[in-house]
Amino acid sequence: MMNLHYGLIHVGLPTMVDLAKDKLPNIKEDNMPTNFELCKEGDVAFADASEDTNEVAKTIEFYNLAEKNVVCGLHTIHGRDNKHKTVVGFKGYTFSSTVFHNQIRRIAQGTKIYSISTKNFSECYIGLPSKPEQTKIATLLRLIDERVATQNKIIEALKLLRDAISGLIFNSMKNEKTILLGNVACISNGSGDVQDSDSIKRDGWYPFFDRSEEQKWFPTYSFNREAIIYAGEGQNFFPRYYKGKFALHQRCYAITDFCECLLPKYCLYFMNTLNSYFIRNAVGSTVPSLRMDMFQKAKIKIPTIERQQEIVSTLDALSLKCENEEIVRALYNTQKSYLLQQLFI
């Protein structure tokens, strides 16, 4: 018997769950429930709580159970169309629509954790078109989901290819000159406070970098140059690249003012291989942190400028391909969000 955990609704499962390819955990024999309702194809499950009102009542629908026994676990609400007014595949999307979640946001209760109960559903409504129209809507949105899943695989494969080629390039540099990063570049801390930043871009504001991947903006800039940027805290430490005016969090580092013997983009790609070095030398037990001297003592292999340019050209092409595929994925997700707003009333 398999268990649908509410966390998997939030992260890990598509709207249409197909157990021929999607995975659910098995229930241990010692924990087998004594009172349960097995899920059927076409059943839906809602996550009953979240820290985000947009995620309360996030929904999946069992599109294909592949003859497997599944029960809904704690903090889920199991739903079934006993009157057979909907087709399999329609409910998951209609309960993911903007019009439905606008209703949920109004009735969700709580301060830090927002939740709903089965009683709340009596206050909600959905529109029901004819079954042929339901089928067309569900088929369209499911095909978009499948295309996004394929796009994810394309992006992952490209990143693996880029990392493999990068590894081959840098692992072959056994006889190249090695120099300390602090001798060929300037390392600086930021000075910005995240409380002064905003996730919405405003006129005259500048990109702000902190430990999160979310793009933020800042009213002033502290750097105006080509830079490699590192978060000073985290579980992994990979560089980001930016050229122009930007602001930096006080617990982040910017590597700038490179010597003529070192191309900034080459340094970026080489430092992508140094994650294990930073993890090994990071200080702190709860949240590993980096110190200035770790950057100054980082060892960089420096081939000729011509060879650096060749390496940058190769890895730039692969990175650009990844970025373009990520743009395609974002467009598919935007298309799906638009349809979830417009197809349901």
Per DSSP, the residues of 127-172 read ----HHHHHHHHHHHHHHHHHHHHHHHHHHHHHHHHHHHHHHHHHT
Q: What is the pLDDT of residues 271-283, one digit of tens each?
A: 999 999 999 999 9
Angle between helices 264-271 and 305-342 (to 10 degrees): 70
Percent of the chain predicted with pLDDT > 90: 71
Residue 38, classed as helix, strand or coil, is: coil
What is the pLDDT, as a whole number, of residue 33? 78
Binning pLDDT at 50, 70 and 90, where does residue 139 land? very high
C-alpha–C-alpha distance, residues 174 and 301, integer Å: 9
What is the pLDDT, as a whole number, of residue 297? 95
pLDDT greater than 80 at residue 251: yes
Would you state the structure tokens that stand for residue 305, as one six-digit string? 């400028």
H or E element, residue 3: strand 2-4
Lowest mean pLDDT among 189-193, 223-227, 303-307: 189-193
H or E element, residue 312: helix 305-342
Query: Cβ of 202: how many Cβ atoms within 10 Å?
Result: 10
Amino acid at 148: V
| pTM of the complete model | 0.79
Would you state the structure tokens that stand for residue 261, as one six-digit string? 């013997």
Q: Is 124 exposed, middle or buried (CB count within 10 Å of its CB: 0-12, 13-18, 19+)?
A: middle
C-alpha–C-alpha distance, residues 5 and 343, integer Å: 29
- Contact at 8 Å (CB) between 227 and 196? no
Lowest mean pLDDT among 33-37, 154-158, 304-308: 33-37
What is the pLDDT, as a whole number, of residue 258? 96
Query: How many alpha carbons fall within 13 Å on the CB side of residue 317?
Result: 7
Terminal C-alpha separation, the chain: 37
- The per-residue b/e assignment along 38-74, b for 16 or more CB within 10 angstroms, e otherwise, is ebeebbbbbbbbbeeeebbbbbbbbbbbeeeebbbbe
Query: Cβ of 98: how many Cβ atoms within 10 Å?
Result: 15
Give the 3-state secondary structure percentages of the chain, helix then strand then coil, rounded to 5.
40, 20, 40
pLDDT greater than 80 at residue 333: yes
- For the chain, the C-alpha Rg in angstroms (whole number) is 25
What is the pLDDT, as a whole number, of residue 213? 82
* Region 38-45 average pLDDT: 95
Amino acid at 316: D
Binning pLDDT at 50, 70 and 90, where does residue 12 land? confident
Binning pLDDT at 50, 70 and 90, where does residue 270 land? very high
Q: Identify the CATH number of the domain defined by range 177-302.
A: 3.90.220.20
* Region 55-72 average pLDDT: 93
Domain ranges of the chain: 2-128, 177-302
Residue 199, classed as helix, strand or coil, is: coil
pLDDT greater than 80 at residue 285: no
Binning pLDDT at 50, 70 and 90, where does residue 76 land? very high
> If you classify domain 2-128 with CATH, what class do you get?
alpha beta
- Contact at 8 Å (CB) between 187 and 255? yes
What's the Cα-to-Cα distance from 69 to each of 1, 24, 62, 92, rounded to whole Å?
5, 11, 11, 19
